A and B are shown apart, each in its own frame.
Chain A
Amino acid sequence: MSTSIGAISLTSRLTTGLLNRPVWFLWLVLLLCFWVAAWAGAVPVTADDWRVLWRQDEPLTSGAYVLWHLRLPRTLFAALVGAALGLSGALTQGLFRNPLADPGLLGVTSGAACAAALTIVVLAGSGMDIPVAWRFWILPLAAFAGAVGVCLLLDTVARWLTADSIAGLLLTGIALNALAAAIIGLCTYLATDEQLRSLTFWTLGSLAGGSWPLVAVLSLLLLTAIWYVWRLVGAMNALALGEAAAAHVGIHVRHLRRRVIILVALLCGFSVAWCGVIGFIGLVAPHIVRLIVGPDQRRLVPLAMLVGAIILLVADTTARIVAIPAEIPVGIFTALLGAPFFLALLTSVRKSG
């Protein structure tokens, strides 16, 4: 009974969430970005290459090969990672009741990168023979563990040091960031040349690893996260009242915190494991959405995913085509595009307010 009621309110919330005009507009923008991203790149793609993709009997042209094996999975991957980062940013801000909270600023991302770096250097240095099939999962798992660790530290240390203080939270984040940076630095110092290349990848961020299996795994992860988040967004609105008042209106605050933390750690951990550190999206995407539709989590969360996907897709496409045939790490671009845009937003808010 209660599940069918839940399903009804779920679908009605989904439809009301998706049928509003900013949503249509953002979907259109995303499709446009897909279109541009698929056409643009070092290898030119013609309409003929697209046609070949649908034909089983014809051999793949080189353009079609690039399209199918490189460009399409990478574009989809970029959008999915962007959505995951936007979602984790929206959740973090809601959880800490603070529009400045961001997995990057709070050290969650660098915690994940730190664990990944340790895995690369220490595990590889120990000479253990790891089967290739496992390698695919060991880094994500380590990154996830690092992200969870930082989240739990944030939750306990910041709360214990300075109860309910935004400054205390951000300061704890800064300390954790510094700690993670030091450990990553130590790993860099100890790393061999080959390990150093992988480490650079983590700290700068790149979507070059995008492939169909990764797209499939990330889609599954994201779908699970969305399904899970839909049941939490109403309660997350109540968190804005403060934790005591949220409990008074019937929310299990501790359960909610734990769930959101695990979700944020999963999303950050996996995206860091596969793409390295890509900053700013978790901060900027929810901000943009809040300016468009306001702070209601029920609308903020899905739109933050959409905006995150758009930003990362634009950034990645730019990173690919701006210096053909070389490729600039996308993490540099999200910051290059994100920071000025964010400043512009702040000034426009100031003017209108």
Chain B
Amino acid sequence: MSHAQQDTHILSLDRVTVTLGQRTFGPFSFVIQPGERIAVLGPSGAGKSTLLKLLARELVPLSGQAIFCQQPLKDWALPDLSRRRAILPQSHEVAFGLPVDLVIGLGRVARMHDPSLASIVRQAAEQACAAHLLGRRFDTLSGGEKARVQMARVFAQLWDVEQGLLLVDEPLAALDPGLQFSLMEAIYTFAANRGHAILAILHDINQALQGFERLIFIKHGAMVGDYHTPHVTLPLLEALYNVNLAAAVTEDGEMIVAPSLKRKAVA
């Protein structure tokens, strides 16, 4: 049983450490299964983006082992890797004002022969609520529209594969709540239909609690917790952010958390 489970891993980190500048981050140890939705939470500067860079192979582990689909992450050829995992970046800028269609199609640029490119670009744009932006220049779009196009590019990248990995780096923080909601829904649907796992860096605790089944806590450059969402309690979150939180429960039984102005006595 445990062996069979091991074979289905999308990604596993085993005591991986990494250096960035003068700092060492880690050790990180966790396993990502197909279709999982994992949110990474932690205060600013804790090392969330570093973890993402490590998973995106922008940084090479100092020690430990990172295995992606039964093969060490560092041994993957970039074009092959790009067919199994995609990254939705935090910044959306693209040089030269490329047309939107081309930007979305760039998700699939590593494929030598791609006859269905045009139809996948269109479908990916539809799924990312960006179909109306096709034909426009990227640099004329608003922030929210750019986010949608980048999302469509990532969708196109993983459109015709299954059990891939989608890394998301807080791409929606600057958008209005309604748009954030519909774009997160689009990501969930896209990933669920294909068995892709999602690992997202989030600042919004409520988004994490409501949309993700597993939460990884990062603090002071190290992993301090890995919980199934129902097991996450208010004190755990308070300890993570060093802040007092107040919680309310909606009619549907969902917990909503907000920083509390009331000072609690420090134990």
Q: Footprint of B on A, CB under 8 Å?
A: 2, 5-6, 8-9, 97-99, 234-235, 237-242, 244-245, 247-252, 290, 294-296
CB <8 Å contact, A247 and B58 = yes
Please tell me which one of the listed residues B82, B91, B97 contacts residue A295 in the complex, with CB atoms under 8 A apart.
Answer: B97
CB-nearest residue of chain B to A236: B109
CB <8 Å contact, A244 and B89 = yes
A249-B157, A250-B82, A252-B78 known; A296-B109 Cβ under 8 A? no
CB <8 Å contact, A5 and B112 = yes
Q: Which residues of B contact A294 (CB under 8 A)?
A: 97-99, 137
Q: Cα distance A235–B87 when bound, in Å?
A: 17
CB <8 Å contact, B87 and A250 = no
Q: Which residues of A contact B98 (CB under 8 A)?
A: 237, 240, 294-296
Q: Cα distance A97–B98 when bound, in Å?
A: 11
CB <8 Å contact, A234 and B96 = no
Q: Which residues of B contact A2 (CB under 8 A)?
A: 112
A9-B112, A252-B78 known; A244-B58 Cβ under 8 A? yes
CB <8 Å contact, A248 and B109 = no
A250-B78, A295-B96 known; A237-B106 Cβ under 8 A? yes
Q: Which residues of B contact A99 (CB under 8 A)?
A: 96
Interface size class of B (residues with CB under 8 A): 20 to 34
Please tell me which one of the listed residues B57, B80, B109, B137 contacts residue A249 in the complex, with CB atoms under 8 A apart.
Answer: B109
Map CB proximity to A onto B46-78 as digits: 1 under 8 Å, 0 otherwise. Answer: 000000000011100000000000000000001
Please tell me which one of the listed residues A9, A240, A247 contacts residue B94 in the complex, with CB atoms under 8 A apart.
Answer: A240
Q: Which residues of A contact B83 (CB under 8 A)?
A: 250
List 23 contacting pairs A-B, 8 Å CB cutoff, sorted by A: A9-B113, A97-B95, A97-B96, A234-B109, A240-B94, A240-B98, A241-B103, A241-B106, A242-B93, A247-B78, A248-B86, A248-B87, A249-B82, A249-B106, A249-B108, A249-B109, A249-B110, A249-B153, A249-B157, A250-B79, A252-B78, A294-B137, A296-B99
Instruction: Answer yes or no: B81 CB below 8 A from chain A CBs.
Output: yes
Please tell me which one of the listed residues A9, A97, A98, A237 contacts residue B109 in the complex, with CB atoms under 8 A apart.
Answer: A237
CB <8 Å contact, B96 and A245 = no
Q: Which 10 A-B pairs have the closest CB atoms?
A: A250-B110, A250-B82, A295-B96, A97-B95, A250-B79, A240-B95, A248-B87, A5-B113, A238-B109, A250-B78
Q: Cα distance A2–B78 when bound, in Å?
A: 17
Q: Footprint of A on B, CB under 8 Å?
A: 56-58, 78-83, 86-87, 89, 91, 93-99, 102-103, 106-110, 112-113, 137, 153, 157
CB-nearest residue of chain A to B77: A250
**Min C-beta distance of B68 to chain A, whole Å:** 14
Q: Which residues of B contact A295 (CB under 8 A)?
A: 96-98
CB-nearest residue of chain B to A253: B78
Q: Cα distance A94–B204 when bound, in Å?
A: 37
Q: Cα distance A239–B97 when bound, in Å?
A: 13
Q: Which residues of B contact A235 (CB under 8 A)?
A: 109
CB <8 Å contact, B94 and A241 = yes
Q: Cα distance A201–B118 when bound, in Å?
A: 51
Q: Which residues of B contact A296 (CB under 8 A)?
A: 98-99, 102
**Min C-beta distance of B238 to chain A, whole Å:** 34
Q: Cα distance A244–B102 when bound, in Å?
A: 18
Q: Cα distance A290–B113 when bound, in Å?
A: 26
**Min C-beta distance of A267 to chain B, whole Å:** 21
CB <8 Å contact, A251 and B109 = yes
Q: Cα distance A214–B58 when bound, in Å?
A: 45
Q: Which residues of B contact A252 (CB under 8 A)?
A: 78
**Min C-beta distance of A255 to chain B, whole Å:** 10
Q: Cα distance A222–B35 when bound, in Å?
A: 50
Q: Which residues of B contact A238 (CB under 8 A)?
A: 106, 109
8 A-B pairs besides A249-B110, A296-B98 with CB distance below 8 A are A9-B113, A238-B106, A240-B96, A242-B89, A242-B94, A245-B87, A250-B78, A252-B78
**Min C-beta distance of A76 to chain B, whole Å:** 32
CB-nearest residue of chain B to A8: B113
